[in-house]
């Protein structure tokens, strides 16, 4: 079903950006390739090609100036074959329907691969949050919730943080939903602050899960993690938590970057010192950090550095065919969703560069969300240690499943193809069990 509640004209001013459709084409092709390898029935393939529901809402906000502005909000529910829809909520000027559609489908595959009982969804608002005041941002978030509510629920669809959203927006989300429904509904959203029903390990979950995968990959490749060089693009929730975890394990992080550019130091950056700087200067970017011996680099250079592991953890479509052809990275572990285009993926496989795909590498977040949701809906308690151990175990299990499937086949090590095949098998099994 397609539901479009957008009033006429609400899409005015939408920026044209090809990134969303490129991402959608990439994810569709990857899914279709896996379906062809597995010989999945065309009727099922056709059903999974489409999202169950696409919701577009107009979100009117009274700005501090007294003027009204209308923003466009999306929520796309791809499949609930294995459980309630689940997926993040991003605030970004480039958000469009194609991008959200692709990200929703990625969530279906990710949840299946991690074997958590959720389906896939994604949401977003086309907005540059950096130009909004705190009050405007809160009013925007709360109005989006009110417009979306009939289609969101603890056992229906559960959002979480994503690009430019954090526990602050999730707390507003849960509060507004509770007020409207006139009962507390902490399980309606994950990634909340601790005082609003959040879980101790959720914030770090994606980064720690990613770090766990990096360590396991290096072990499988026979490389000592204490000497391996690592570069991370994007220093937000995912990139930062990954850097913290890997630095804690003694890894050498030679480069990091954010929207303001990157910094490089061959002997390894002092992550603790960078953290101290960012803590003391809240809201500042990496271009404000200075230390002896660091070199300023741009994101293009970072993506081509001669490192053992490159971690794109910013936005989609960063690893283009040009990057794939020229990068000197030996392996890529995808922190972001959809950072590698389809043509680039093929080139990387041909060049023997091992890629751990997004649906595996960044799935620690959804597992952390699952724990938070379980705690909210069942009243169970999860300590930090238990949460960390559960995430580590599930990430290693998923990694080993994918690695074993990929190595069963002769030829190049294509972890993405293997991950999609496992995920698709599970979703199709659930569909068959339900509908046959």
Residues touching ligand NAD: how many (CB under 6 A)?
24
Phi-psi region of 22 (alpha: psi -120 to 50; beta: other; left: phi over 0): alpha
- Site for ligand NAD contains 164 (CB under 6 A): yes
Q: Mapping DSSP to helix (H, G, I), strand (E, B) and coil, where does residue 195 land? A: helix
- Site for ligand NAD contains 26 (CB under 6 A): no
Residue among 71, 109, 118, 235 that touches ligand NAD (CB under 6 A): 235
Given 86, 110, 122, 203, the catalytic residue: 122
Residue among 243, 313, 359, 427 that touches ligand NAD (CB under 6 A): 313
Rg (the chain; Cα; Å): 21
Active-site residue 330, yes or no?
A: no
Closest separation in Å from C-beta 342 to ligand NAD: 17
* HEC-encoded secondary structure of 213-279: HHHHHHHHCCCCCCCCEEEEECCCHHHHHHHHHHHHCCCEEEEEEECCEEEECCCCCCHHHHHHHHH
Residue among 108, 199, 362, 394 that touches ligand NAD (CB under 6 A): 362
Residue among 365, 387, 392, 402 that touches ligand NAD (CB under 6 A): 365
Q: Which DSSP state fits 363?
A: T
Closest separation in Å from C-beta 110 to ligand NAD: 8
Place of tokens 């399980």: 187
- Site for ligand NAD contains 237 (CB under 6 A): yes
Tell me the residue length of the chain. Answer: 436
Residue among 196, 327, 337, 387 that touches ligand NAD (CB under 6 A): 337
Q: Toward ligand NAD, which CB reaches closer, 162 or 421?
A: 162
Task: List the one residue out of 348, 337, 262, 340 whose CA is nearest residue 301.
Answer: 262
In the complex, residue closest to ligand NAD by CB: 236
One symbol per residue from 241 to 270: x for binding ligand NAD (CB under 6 A), - otherwise; what is it? ----------------xxx-----------
Closest separation in Å from C-beta 337 to ligand NAD: 4
- Site for ligand NAD contains 236 (CB under 6 A): yes
Q: Which DSSP state fits 325?
A: H
- Site for ligand NAD contains 299 (CB under 6 A): yes
Burial annotation 88-116 (CB, 10 A radius, 16+ → b, else e) = bbbbbbbbbbbbbbbbbbbbbbbbbbbbb
Strands 309-312 and 229-233: parallel
Q: List, by residue number, the catalytic residues.
A: 122
Q: Write out the residues near ligand NAD by the rule CB under 6 A.
A: 161-164, 206, 233-239, 257-259, 299, 313-315, 335-337, 362, 365
């Amino acid at each position: 079903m397609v539901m479009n509640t957008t009033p006429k004209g609400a899409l005015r001013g939408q920026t044209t950006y090809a990134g969303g459709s490129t991402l959608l084409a990439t994810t569709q092709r990857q899914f279709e390739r896996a379906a062809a390898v597995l010989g999945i029935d065309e009727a099922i393939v056709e059903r999974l090609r489409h999202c169950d529901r696409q919701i577009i809402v107009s979100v009117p906000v009274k700005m501090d100036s007294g003027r009204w502005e209308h923003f466009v909000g999306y929520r796309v529910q791809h499949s609930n074959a294995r459980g309630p829809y689940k997926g993040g909520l991003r605030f970004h000027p480039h958000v469009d329907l194609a991008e959200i559609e692709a990200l929703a489908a990625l969530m279906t595959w990710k949840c299946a691969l991690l074997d958590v009982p959720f389906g896939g969804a994604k949401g977003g608002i086309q907005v540059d949050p950096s130009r909004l005041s705190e009050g405007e941002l809160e009013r925007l978030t709360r109005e989006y919730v009110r417009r979306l509510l009939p289609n969101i629920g603890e056992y229906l669809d559960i959002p979480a943080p994503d690009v430019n959203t954090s526990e602050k927006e999730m707390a507003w989300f849960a509060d507004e939903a509770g007020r409207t429904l006139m009962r507390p509904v902490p399980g309606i959203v994950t990634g909340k602050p601790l005082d609003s029903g959040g879980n101790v390990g959720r914030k770090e979950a994606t980064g720690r899960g990613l770090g766990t995968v990096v360590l396991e990959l290096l072990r499988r490749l026979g490389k000592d993690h204490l000497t391996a060089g690592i570069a991370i693009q994007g220093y937000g929730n995912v990139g930062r938590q990954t850097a913290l975890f890997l630095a804690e394990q003694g890894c050498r992080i030679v480069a990091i970057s954010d929207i303001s550019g990157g910094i490089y130091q061959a002997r390894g950056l002092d992550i603790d010192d960078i953290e101290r700087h960012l803590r003391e200067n809240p809201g500042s970017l990496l271009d404000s950090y200075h230390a002896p011996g660091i070199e300023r680099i741009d994101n293009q250079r970072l993506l081509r550095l001669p490192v053992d592991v490159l971690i794109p953890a910013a936005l989609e479509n960063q690893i283009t065919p040009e990057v794939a052809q020229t990068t000197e990275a030996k392996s890529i572990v995808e922190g972001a969703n959809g950072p590698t285009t389809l043509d680039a993926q093929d080139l990387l496989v041909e060049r023997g560069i091992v890629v751990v795909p997004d649906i595996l590498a960044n799935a620690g977040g959804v597992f952390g969300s699952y724990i938070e949701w379980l705690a909210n809906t069942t009243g169970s308690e999860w300590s930090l240690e238990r949460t960390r151990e559960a995430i580590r175990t599930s990430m290693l299990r998923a990694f080993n499943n994918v690695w074993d499937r990929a190595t069963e086949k002769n030829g190049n090590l294509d972890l993405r193809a293997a991950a999609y095949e496992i995920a698709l098998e599970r979703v199709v099994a659930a569909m068959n069990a339900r509908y046959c």
